[in-house]
Structure 1
Amino acid sequence: MRIEDLKLFTIVVKLGSFTAAANALDLPRANVSRRIGELEKALNAQLFFRTTRQLRLTQHGEAYYHELLTVLEGFEQAKNKLHDIDEKPIGKVKVGFLPESDEALQPALAKFQQLYPDIELDMRITNNYETDIYALALDFVIYAGKVQDSGFIARRILSLGRGIYASPEYLASHGEPQSLAELSKHDAICYRWPDGSIDDKWDLISETVHVKSRFTCNHMGFVRRAIVGGQGIGFMPPLFALAAIEAKRIVRILPQYESKKEDVWLIYPDRKGISLPTRLLIDFLLQEIPNRAGL
């Protein structure tokens, strides 16, 4: 009886099907079904009622599942103690992140793996932490916006504001606006929110500015590249464009106007048995991302 199969059993229970567990763990469904069958044989007990429409726990499975959670937590803590002594953390961390945050995250993750070369990172794009943490078997998720589900631990990384940016080439060709009112005369590059609405009302602390949208995209990386390419003026978090800002491929205009800020969170399930590699990465990002944002 292997620890990996016991963990697999708990994931099947959480996700509610062999198929969902197979997708979350990148395994063939037949592999999951076979391993659960072997576990039942080793225990001499049926853990699931299997029908074509539903998978649910038997009475034996229910009792075994709840006891097993405590055992696996103790096993994870014991393993962490060994790694703490050896000071050579080894393992895999699965992280969910917003697609537009790749430029901010990648340098930080590269630095982390230089410090811990035996830790493997598996990065997954996600827009819904409430479902994806379990559906994709993620260790934690980086999320921007309001956190609603109290069943998770949410640790604020930083508050993220946005600035108004344009390329030097665009400003040389079209002139630099000297007031918010002049923005209406320029081409705007706008982000399209997940609900389909266009971000053509730029929310500043003092007022909201309406702009003329000439180019829209639901990926902030594409918005950034359009600004760098001189297609217009954009409104975006500087953390998502650090390389372009440092290289002076885009510049901030009307810097006296501050935007309203949005919190960025690191979210993970409420469990004590978090692995050492996951804990190290969480602590690292909570420090490293705010440091990069201050560059």
Structure 2
Amino acid sequence: MRLEDMELFVQVVETGSFTKTGQLTDMPKSTISRRIRGLEESLHSRLLERTTRKVVMTEVGEVFYHKCISILEQVAATQHEITQVQGESIGNLTLYAPDHILELCIDQVSEFCRQYPRLSMTFHNTCQPLTSMTDKRFDLLIDIGQQPDSSFIAQPIVDISFDFFAHPDYLSKCGQPFSLHELNKNHKLIAFELPSSAIVWQDKKVILPTQPKYVANSPYICRALTKDAQGIGCLPVAMVRKDIEQGHLVRLFEGQETFSQTIFAIYHSRRFVPQKVRLLIETIKEQLPQRITELESKIHN
């Protein structure tokens, strides 16, 4: 039984005529008759008595008519409610993002929430590969690094720079490298692992150790190990300004080996993207690049 056939039945009852219903719906009288007959067959009941002058409901037809009115009103109310939620920034928005990325755009997200007070948000920290997110419900995922082919939509937001840093005590003990080639021979490396399980520098042309001394999926851990003089860390430039100012870290190679990774906004489909998701993506795209540029520009080689 289809809603369209129920609507057609209601129109026939309210116009009292197959002919008038055909005029209103621009549908042949034979098609209307066939669909009403199919409705009756699905219910195993006769709904209408047809005469040459008018159409009259049977007793069962009258009961069914009132049921149809109730069902169609509920469907219309549900459709209006869902459309309203889809078109307005209300309800809940679930955001997955690594801590270090969320930290960079939390001001924009907070401002977004102030602008739309009827919207609540649920935050999840994630360092999981995108392939493991297929069975999770989320509205938006912020991720870093090259994204695998998948059913998700990945929209690039901004590039974030990475470079090599070390604690002065480590350099005093192990010597300061003057090229990436030296890292492969004489130094301990601290590597940041992307959610895709790739090491962040794997897209660089110079081959670095396949198995660094330390590997962590958190740049905070990488930074802590680097500040503890455990090795040379490959870190997001935007995260180390204070450490450089306080003398805890030194930037190597005079910034000549800086490279970047792309931050992506990831969501399920291009079709029927909720307005609240579109607005949040637009907010982050407008403001996060400026924030990263500001932090990176304050780093002195």
Structure 1: stretches of 5+ with no match in the other structure: 1-63, 84-88
Say if 2:84 is the partner of 1:78: yes
1:136 corresponds in structure 2 to 136
Q: Deviations over 1:162-184 (max 9, x none)?
A: 21112344345544322334333
| AA in 2 matched with 1:188 | L
Q: CA deviation at 1:148?
A: 1.0
Taking the TM superposition and a 5 Å limit, the aligned residue runs for 1:273-292 are 273-292=272-291
Q: Secondary structure at the match of 1:190?
A: strand
1:24 corresponds in structure 2 to none
Rate the CA distance shift 1:232–1:277 in 2: closer, same or farther, 3 A.
Answer: same
Say if 2:158 is the partner of 1:158: yes
Q: Contact 1:165/1:236 (CA < 8 Å) preserved in 2?
A: yes
Taking the TM superposition and a 5 Å limit, the aligned residue runs for 1:109-128 are 109-116=109-116, 118-126=118-126, 127-128=128-129
1:264 corresponds in structure 2 to 263
1:186 corresponds in structure 2 to 187
Q: CA deviation at 1:95?
A: 0.8
1:146 corresponds in structure 2 to 147
Q: Contact 1:94/1:122 (CA < 8 Å) preserved in 2?
A: yes
Distance in 1 between residues matched to 2:266 and 2:191, nearest whole Å: 28
Q: Contact 1:95/1:141 (CA < 8 Å) preserved in 2?
A: yes
Rate the CA distance shift 1:72–1:263 in 2: closer, same or farther, 3 A.
Answer: farther
Taking the TM superposition and a 5 Å limit, the aligned residue runs for 1:63-102 are 75-79=81-85, 89-98=89-98, 101-102=101-102
Of 152-161 and 172-181, more deviation after overlay is shown by 172-181
Rate the CA distance shift 1:75–1:231 in 2: closer, same or farther, 3 A.
Answer: same
1:217 corresponds in structure 2 to 216
Of 213-222 and 99-108, more deviation after overlay is shown by 99-108
Count of aligned positions: 217
Q: Contact 2:194/2:200 (CA < 8 Å) preserved in 1?
A: no
Q: Contact 1:157/1:264 (CA < 8 Å) preserved in 2?
A: yes
Structure 2: stretches of 5+ with no match in the other structure: 1-70, 295-301
Q: CA deviation at 1:231?
A: 2.0
Of 273-282 and 140-149, more deviation after overlay is shown by 273-282
Q: Contact 2:129/2:197 (CA < 8 Å) preserved in 1?
A: no
Q: Deviations over 1:257-288 (max 9, x none)?
A: 243x4332111122654444333211111222
Rate the CA distance shift 1:141–1:271 in 2: closer, same or farther, 3 A.
Answer: same
> Could you tell me the percent identity over the aligned residues?
22
Q: CA deviation at 1:99?
A: 5.3
Q: So what's the TM-score if we normalise by structure 1? A: 0.58
Distance in 2 between residues matched to 1:110 and 1:285, nearest whole Å: 11
Distance in 1 between residues matched to 2:143 and 2:167, nearest whole Å: 28
Q: Contact 2:147/2:154 (CA < 8 Å) preserved in 1?
A: no
